[in-house]
Structure 1
Amino acid sequence: MQFTTNLTYVLIVFTAVLLSLVRAAPLIARDVYVPPITYPHPGTIWKIGSYHNVTWDTTNPPEHITNSVGRIVLRKGVLATDIVLKSGFNILDGRVVVQVPKVTPDKDYSLVLFGDSGNFSPQFTITH
């Protein structure tokens, strides 16, 4: 019985210390950052196998970005595909080079720029 009482006391003290540390830790406000994609733009035509700069506007980012690691995914129509064109870059870079993948040529492609959240480019065309 003595062991149970001592263990309970230790757990209560440990929990109290842990809670005081959590309450004392400063919380940094984080902001969702959704920089608009500036290229490709409406009317853009990409040829399969070619390389292009994907660009986005990085002016006025918040001080604390929730997720600064970017990823660009190809989107067809209203659905994101599983084709990742680039990942692991800093969302504040404002530009990455991607190679146009082998896909069915069409005029309803767009890009999704992920970091904090996903934002879409305007639709553009991919040709042979």
Structure 2
Amino acid sequence: MKFTTNLKAFSIVFYTTFFALLSQLVLSLPLTDKRDVFVPRIITPDASTVWHSGEIQTVTWDISDAPQNITNSIGFILLRAGEISTPVILADNFNILDAQVNLTVPNVLTRDDFSIVLFGDSGNFSPQFTIVGKF
């Protein structure tokens, strides 16, 4: 009986120590894979931008730090008014690595708190800017 009790105690201590050391080894391994979520900085429009309804404008973003493997390279751009994302799709079905896309500015009421949301791997916002509407 004493042998069985000592064997159980030894097994518990052995396996506890083994898994504790193994978990430390796993946690100390470096994470070498770069994440493939790409959040490009929007260059234009910026805070000084003024668009006019009906014009063709170009949205540009920085791709200098793009990872090699992007989860979703097909992009689209939505218009945002103040704190509300509108259902207005300004551009879609473009490659996020193109770094720019042309769009037609929609007919909206004049406001100075518009921004665009660039979607691809993630959604990121431009600074707020002005659109002068035809109304």
Q: Show the counterpart of 2:110.
A: 105
Gapped runs of 5+ residues in structure 2?
1-32
What aligned pairs does 1:18-29 form with structure 2 within 5 A after superposition?
Answer: none
Q: Show the counterpart of 1:93.
A: 98
> Match for 2:57: what amino acid?
H
**Which of 46, 49, 57 is residue 52 of structure 1 equivalent to?**
57
Q: Show the counterpart of 1:71.
A: 76
**Which of 13, 18, 38 is residue 33 of structure 1 equivalent to?**
38
**Residues 112 and 119 of structure 1 are in contact (CA less than 8 Å); yes or no, is this contact kept in structure 2?**
yes
List structure 1 segments (4+ residues) > 2 angstroms apart after TM superposition: none
Higher helix share: 2
Superposed CA deviations along residues 78-117 of structure 1, whole A, max 9, x for unmatched, are 1110000000000000010011001111000000000011
Aligned partners of 2:102 and 2:89: how far apart in 1?
A: 13
What aligned pairs does 1:7-26 form with structure 2 within 5 A after superposition?
Answer: none
**Which of 117, 121, 125 is residue 116 of structure 1 equivalent to?**
121
**Which of 108, 125, 130 is residue 125 of structure 1 equivalent to?**
130
Q: Give 1:121 shift.
A: 0.3
Q: What is the Cα-based RMSD across aligned positions, in Å?
A: 1.4
**Which of 42, 47, 55 is residue 47 of structure 2 equivalent to?**
42
**Residues 53 and 96 of structure 1 are in contact (CA less than 8 Å); yes or no, is this contact kept in structure 2?**
yes
Aligned partners of 2:67 and 2:34: how far apart in 1?
A: 10
Aligned partners of 2:110 and 2:42: how far apart in 1?
A: 22
Scaled by the length of structure 1, the TM-score of the pair is: 0.75
Gapped runs of 5+ residues in structure 1?
1-27
Q: Give 1:43 shift.
A: 1.5
Aligned partners of 1:41 and 1:106: how far apart in 2?
A: 15
**Residues 70 and 89 of structure 1 are in contact (CA less than 8 Å); yes or no, is this contact kept in structure 2?**
yes
Task: Give the greater-gyration-radius structure (CA).
Answer: 2
